[in-house]
Amino acid sequence: MLLYGITGMIWKSNDRSEIEHQYMPAQPLDSQVAQLLDLIARAKRPAIHTMDPVDAKIAYEKSAPILDLSPAPVHGVEDFQVTARDGHAIPVRLYSPREASWADPLPLLVYFHGGGFTVGSVNSHDSLCRMFCNGAECLVLSVDYRLGPEWKFPVAANDAFDVLHWVFEEAARIGADATRIALGGDSAGGTLAAACAVEARDHGLAPVLQMLIYPGTCARQDTPSHRALAEGYLLTAEMIQWFFSQYLDVDASRDDWRFAPLDGGGEGADVRGCCPAWIAVAGYDPLHDEGVAYAAKLEAAGVVASLTDYPSMIHDFFKLGRFIGAVAGAHADATAALRRAFGI
């Protein structure tokens, strides 16, 4: 049985009885992260989970460009729509590093933004998608899937699946190489990317990578890192539960593998035969342990899974590059994983 050793805790794949009840990050908090957290605390802005959902969405959109890197220029950006199974027009944004055509197709990353299934958009993650486009020399299709509380589970997952199928069917039309399609996302978007990897396997589709950036994978948020990091590190326990209260139709949906691919319903998703994974976790992130455990689950099922731990970082750090110098290294790691998967 696969064993992952982490400072202060041990998680044995598929055996929660083996979890020790202490968690301690392997390194001190990054000094620039600590300064940023102090600035946020001093600003005394209302926490997202204390707001009306409409105001929370606005606040997140306004804060994202303040903390993130300035958007880098790319060759082209196109906004259009993909039709969902219920007729809804799902907005998507396609970034291109150069001209692509059926004769000279480019690899493609399908990207799902984070935000607890409640906030976030293609706009909030614009800078990140531009970075992936340039760094991995690939097309990036950013997906504006539907959010709670207006749209409840499993609408976001269905939107993600519908875009997945559309991409493989229409790859040539957008200049993408159907043999080099990757799935990616951060936080809740990582959940969707992981679920899409299972959906792809079930329908004979073959993405080359699932790039999961601090993904949510567990049903109950009861891991040692969730307990130890419930307050003080940007993403809090109250915030997480507020997000899920906006998104979930009923609490029993926590046991659906599309919400919790690690352990929904006890076993989670059957991940045998899924595409390889690159998973990033942060040491001061409540979601740390579930990312580690998902890598273990994949490897136990025979899936190649590369786990990269950033022990001094917090949740959402991929989007904090304006203030945190170490983010550049994580961006380079992610784009290198994409390039390897694309054979570049």
Q: Which residues are catalytic?
A: 187, 285, 315
Measured CA to CA, the distance from residue 91 to residue 58 in angstroms comes to: 18
List CB contacts of 31: < 8 A, sequence separation 6 or more. none
Range 321-324 contact pairs with CB under 8 angstroms and sequence separation of 24 or more: 321/68, 321/69, 321/127, 322/66, 322/67, 322/68, 322/69, 322/70, 323/32, 323/35, 323/36, 323/67, 324/30, 324/32, 324/33, 324/36
Task: Please compute, for residue 110, the number of CA atoms within 13 A of its CA located in the half-sphere on the CB side.
Answer: 34
Q: Tokens 């600590």 — which residue?
A: 34
137 SS3 class: coil
Task: Quote the CA–CA distance of 180 and 339 in Å, as a whole number.
Answer: 10
Secondary structure class of 254 (helix, strand, coil): helix
* CA distance linking residue 112 with residue 109, whole number of Å: 10
Please give the distance of CA 69 from its chain centroid, rounded to a whole number.
Answer: 18
Please state the φ and ψ torsions of residue 254, each to the nearest 5 degrees: -60, -25
Q: Using CA atoms, how far apart are residues 30 and 11, in angstroms rounded to an integer? A: 25
Q: What type of residue is 54?
A: V
